[in-house]
Amino acid sequence: MNNYDIPAGFRFSGVASGIKKSGKLDLGLIVSDQPAACAGVFTRNQVVAAPLLLTKPRVAKGKCQAILVNSGNANACTGSAGLEIAEASLNLLSRELQVPGNLISVASTGVIGEQLPFEPFIAGIPQLVKKMSVDQFSIVAEAMMTTDAFSKVASATEGGEQNYKILGLAKGAGMIHPNMATMLGFILTDAQVNPELLKSMLQQAVGKSFNSITVDGDTSTNDMVLLLANGAADSAMIEPDTHEAEIFSQHLDRVLLDLAKMIVRDGEGATKLVQVRVVGAESEESARIAARSVATSALVKTAFFGEDANWGRIIAAVGYSGIDIDPDRIDISFNQVPVAINGLAVGGEQEAKATKVLQLDEFVVTINLHQGSAESSYYTSDLSYEYIKINADYRT
Amino acid sequence: MNNYDIPAGFRFSGVASGIKKSGKLDLGLIVSDQPAACAGVFTRNQVVAAPLLLTKPRVAKGKCQAILVNSGNANACTGSAGLEIAEASLNLLSRELQVPGNLISVASTGVIGEQLPFEPFIAGIPQLVKKMSVDQFSIVAEAMMTTDAFSKVASATEGGEQNYKILGLAKGAGMIHPNMATMLGFILTDAQVNPELLKSMLQQAVGKSFNSITVDGDTSTNDMVLLLANGAADSAMIEPDTHEAEIFSQHLDRVLLDLAKMIVRDGEGATKLVQVRVVGAESEESARIAARSVATSALVKTAFFGEDANWGRIIAAVGYSGIDIDPDRIDISFNQVPVAINGLAVGGEQEAKATKVLQLDEFVVTINLHQGSAESSYYTSDLSYEYIKINADYRT
């Protein structure tokens, strides 16, 4: 547990409040000693869960001191009753913590369309406040889990003059067509960052990580990523267009990409982590569209599960992605093994070598369009029997 | 076999030529005694298989007398060698049949990226020609199968003055995100139809059937639907904007919808046929987008397999479909059982009743947006363990 770098000035706790009938952890709390600068990225789904209706306007004001998260119930499609319960839990925490309600964010994940009970919060919130501790971040990561097979934590440290840490907690399990498993991410740093810069850096980092494992816009009713910077490390303010901003951005990107890869690896029933890398594209946007088309193809993903170097399915997924291509110039390789050159099978022993690559836990599919120099990557998993089992039985 | 209505003036045959290593039927032939008026709809995938490169320009000229179809190999991503083999098979058939090559269409379905061998055609084509018979249409339907669990035939008869028949043969198995399983459809009639009308009626019928089970534009490298009208019934020419055209169109729509439903029911591993019907939409287009979003959601489809009336996944799929909605006005029902009204759970005994509906082999999900009066339907299947098995092991 001490392999992670914990930013100063944050405390954490988690309890089993009874929202999950299994008796597992289902309520988590993150508190900063001081109000932190804050930025957020939220679902683009038009069906928005109750907690987001409260959290979005609060985060928009740029300040946050505490995050309350529950699992087991998404509090989505629950109408005005659901909104009242989210508000009541926020107000209860505000009183117990002695922190103004406008500095509290709430988040939920779990089943949609069932009313969230309030009783668990009445018992759970005082316990959460009593148990807060600087090293209990992993308990919060656990309390966020739904179909997750493991909790997700990543961190980074900047030494030297700019002495700060970044800690990321996330939940989510990758999907075929990743349109509904809620993704929550809470990123905490004791650096001091210009609030506008915080926002743009978060958006950029989310684009290259969480939004490169899910289809843009095709998000759950509950997705959110919050970034809190409380300045407790006492280092100088990080300002836009500086070397320090660039370094912070690199650390942030890495923490988010680490978390995103964990989500793919924890893909419901996933056994492999595959980077789909499109190079030689006319633009980054067209590379992204092609990579996404391949990464979300159920046929490509089942071929990965079957350890079948079926590049025909890959080239077909590029073909229907919507970007302009010249099929006769496309090269495809698995790690360093070419399986198709100029749109034709390489065949022979390359096929056997490629099959060996597919037997690995983690590999890269590179698709060269030979149209330009832009590139983009999507991260995906294979599609296995387990996926069906997990999702068919989810509510039972 | 005699439950189908066979149009006059067509002959059929099928053989096992050896393209399929299993020794199953893999080569089929349809021949009209006279050149027929003809229309076609083809894949929009930019990666186009060799046979389509030959068939598309021929069909565009509006005449066709014979269709040669093989299964077991798609002859896609096979470059100039693949094109030469397609041409050679077409020329061989032309000589054997004594039918000009420009009146012959060729079609292939099967694995992508492997060279199609020519030897099977050398032995197979003379046999095909020798075996032609007026009642062997079901052999052709069998010879087109790949992962299909059953062959697909549908027909219609118009009695009275306009005395003609329509016979449809198809192959294809529905998919999660139906982006690659080749769909072939050959529709034959002995009616006499104005060639321009033939084209527009086919496009319309495909839109309401085959294109309402697959995502528009997200098609395989080999998809094609051909409609041949040979006029052998000796009834009067059907002209645009007439009562006769309307009747023909209705018969055609039904034959195609019957075939499309069979494809969904034969969805790889499917156990249920579900009509996703969006009503109360502002436009047919927005209804179609919402229906497609629900029908292609892997989470919705796994819930169907789990017989779970999980309307939360359905409303979320409408929410990310991209159309403007008011979640608080949406009603959802399974057959006649309402599970959500105004975006909220109905709960109580309705949930138990809905679960009973989900246990049926076939049911309708109706989503009322309460925004207007337009509607559209998509047909989908559930997503089961079998799907993964079939597609993971496809090439092995």
Q: What pLDDT tens digit does each residue of chain B (396 aa) get?
A: 447 889 999 999 999 999 999 999 999 999 999 999 999 999 888 889 999 999 999 999 999 999 999 999 999 999 999 999 999 999 999 999 999 999 999 999 998 889 999 999 999 999 999 999 999 999 999 999 988 889 999 999 998 778 999 999 999 876 544 445 689 999 999 999 999 999 999 999 998 898 888 543 456 888 999 999 999 998 999 999 999 999 999 999 999 999 999 988 887 678 899 999 999 999 999 999 999 999 888 778 888 988 888 898 899 899 989 899 999 999 999 999 999 999 999 988 998 999 999 999 999 999 999 999 999 999 988 877 666 666 666 554
Contact A308 B394 (CB under 8 A): yes
> pLDDT value at position A131?
97
Q: What element of type H or E holds A333?
A: strand A331-334
Q: How far apart are CA A269 and CA B164, in angstroms?
A: 53
> pLDDT value at position A130?
98
Chain A positions touching B306 (Cβ under 8 A) are: 391-396
SS (H, E, C) chain B: CCCCCCCCCEEEEEECCCCCCCCCCCEEEEEEEEEEEEEEEECCCCCCCHHHHHHHHHHHCCEEEEEEEEEEECCCCCHHHHHHHHHHHHHHHHHHHCCCHHHEEEEEEEECCCCCCCHHHHHHHHHHHHHCECCCHHHHHHHCCCCCCCCEEEEEEECCCCCEEEEEEEECCCCCCCCCCCCEEEEEECCCECHHHHHHHHHHHHHHCHHHCCCCCCCCCCCEEEEEECCCCCCCCECCCCHHHHHHHHHHHHHHHHHHHHHHHCCCCCCCEEEEEEEEECCHHHHHHHHHHHHCCHHHHHHHHCCCCCHHHHHHHHHCCCCCCCHHHCEEEECCEEEEECCEECCCHHHHHHHHHHCCCEEEEEEECCCCCEEEEEEEECCCHHHHHHHHCCCC
Q: Is the pLDDT of residue A206 over 60?
A: yes
* Rg of chain A on CA atoms, in Å: 22
Q: How far apart are CA B292 and CA B281, in angstroms?
A: 14
Q: What is the pLDDT of residues A281-328, one digit of tens each?
A: 999 999 999 999 998 887 788 889 888 888 988 998 999 898 999 999
Q: Is the pLDDT of residue A151 over 80?
A: yes
- CB under 8 Å to B234, separation ≥6 — which residues? B192
DSSP assignment letter at A296? T
Question: Contact, B78 vs B113, CB < 8 A?
Answer: yes
Contact A298 B175 (CB under 8 A): yes
Largest CA distance in chain B: 70
B302, B317, B325 ranked by CB distance to A388: nearest: B302
**Chain mean pLDDT for chain A:** 91
B219, B299, B342 ranked by CB distance to A391: nearest: B299
Contact B306 A383 (CB under 8 A): no
Out of A182, A189, A214, A380, pick the active-site residue. Answer: A182
Residue of B nearest to A296 (CA): B177
Q: Is the pLDDT of residue A259 over 60?
A: yes
- Tokens 């070397």 belong to A243
Mutation pick from B111, B218, B305, B331 vs chain A, by most beta carbons of A within 10 Å, is B218
Angle (nearest 5°) at CA A224 between A222 and A227: 160
Mutation pick from B180, B300, B305, B330 vs chain A, by most beta carbons of A within 10 Å, is B180
Can you say whether the dihedral through the CA atoms of A203, A208, A209, A215 is positive or negative?
positive
> pLDDT value at position B177?
44
Chain A positions touching B113 (Cβ under 8 A) are: 310-312, 315, 340, 344-345
Around A212, how many Cα atoms within 13 Å sit in the side-chain half-sphere? 31
Contact B303 A114 (CB under 8 A): no
Specify burial of residue A240 (Cβ count, 10 A radius: 0-12, 13-18, 19+).
exposed
Q: How far apart are CA B212 and CA B278, in angstroms?
A: 13
Q: How far apart are CA B195 and CA B62, in angstroms?
A: 7
Give the tokens for residue B221. Answer: 């490298």
Contact B385 A388 (CB under 8 A): yes
Crossing angle for the helix pair B284-295 and B311-319, to the nearest 10 degrees: 130
The letter for the amino acid at A138 is S
Contact A113 B340 (CB under 8 A): yes
Pick from A136, A127, A106, A125: which is nearest to A13 by CA?
Answer: A136
A176, A177, A396 ranked by CB distance to B308: nearest: A396
Average pLDDT of span A104-132: 96
Q: What element of type H or E holds A168?
A: strand A164-171
Query: Taking CB atoms and an 8 Å cut-off, how many pairs form between chains A and B?
Result: 217
pLDDT band at A331 (very low <50, low <70, confident <90, very high): very high
The minimum CA-CA distance between B143 and chain A, rounded to whole Å, is 22
Average pLDDT of span A85-112: 96
Q: Is the pLDDT of residue A395 over 60?
A: no
CA-based end-to-end distance of chain B: 33
Judge whether B380 counts as a catalytic residue: no
Q: Could you give the domains of chain B?
A: 10-265 (3.60.70.12), 273-392 (3.10.20.340)
Neighbour order of strands in the sheet with A331-334? A344-345, A337-341, A331-334, A362-368, A273-281, A374-381
Specify burial of residue A97 (Cβ count, 10 A radius: 0-12, 13-18, 19+).
buried
CB neighbours of residue A195 within 10 Å: 13
> pLDDT value at position A179?
46
Residue A142, CA distances (Å) to A12, A20, A137 in order: 12, 13, 9
Mutation pick from B42, B43, B45 vs chain A, by most beta carbons of A within 10 Å, is B45
Contact B308 A179 (CB under 8 A): no
Specify burial of residue B352 (Cβ count, 10 A radius: 0-12, 13-18, 19+).
exposed
Q: pTM of the full predicted structure?
A: 0.82
Question: Contact, B378 vs B292, CB < 8 A?
Answer: yes
Can you say whether the dihedral through the CA atoms of B96, B97, B103, B106 is positive or negative?
negative
The minimum CA-CA distance between B342 and chain A, rounded to whole Å, is 9
Contact A111 B312 (CB under 8 A): yes
The minimum CA-CA distance between A81 and chain B, rounded to whole Å, is 10
Pick from B337, B335, B328, B338: which is nearest to B371 by CA?
Answer: B328
B74, B315, B344 ranked by CB distance to A79: nearest: B344
Give the tokens for residue B378. Answer: 């998509």
Contact A391 B298 (CB under 8 A): yes
Please state the ipTM of this predicted complex.
0.75
Share of chain A above pLDDT 70, in %: 93
Around A210, how many Cα atoms within 13 Å sit in the side-chain half-sphere? 34
Q: Which of A190-204, A261-275, A343-357 has the highest mean pLDDT?
A: A190-204
Chain B positions touching A324 (Cβ under 8 A) are: 46
Q: How far apart are CA B363 and CA B347, in angstroms?
A: 20
Contact B306 A394 (CB under 8 A): yes
Out of B55, B78, B109, B182, pick the active-site residue. Answer: B182
Coil, strand, or helix at residue A290?
A: helix
As a dihedral over the C-alpha atoms of residue A90, residue A96, residue A101, residue A104, rounded to 10 degrees, the angle is -70
Beta strands at B273-281 and B344-345: parallel, antiparallel or unpaired: unpaired
Contact B388 A176 (CB under 8 A): no
Question: Contact, A238 vs A329, CB < 8 A?
Answer: no
Chain A positions touching B344 (Cβ under 8 A) are: 77-79, 113
Pick from A177, A129, A179, A157: which is nearest to A302 by CA?
Answer: A177
Residue of B nearest to A115 (CA): B345
Chain A positions touching B177 (Cβ under 8 A) are: 176-177, 296-298
Q: How far apart are CA A200 and CA A40, in angstroms?
A: 10
Contact A312 B383 (CB under 8 A): no
Pick from A278, A274, A281, A304: which is nearest to A379 by CA?
Answer: A274
Give the residues across from A184 on adjacent strands: A171, A224
> pLDDT value at position B176?
43
Question: Contact, A313 vs A300, CB < 8 A?
Answer: yes
Contact B180 A296 (CB under 8 A): no
Beta strands at A224-229 and A184-189: parallel, antiparallel or unpaired: parallel
A312, A387, A391 ranked by CB distance to B113: nearest: A312
The letter for the amino acid at A263 is I
Q: How far apart are CA B43 and CA B47, in angstroms?
A: 9
Pick from B70, B66, B68: which is nearest to B25 by CA?
Answer: B70
pLDDT band at A264 (very low <50, low <70, confident <90, very high): confident
The minimum CA-CA distance between A315 and chain B, rounded to whole Å, is 8
Specify burial of residue B396 (Cβ count, 10 A radius: 0-12, 13-18, 19+).
exposed
Residue of A nearest to B44 (CA): A320
Residue of B nearest to A218 (CA): B320
> pLDDT value at position B331?
97
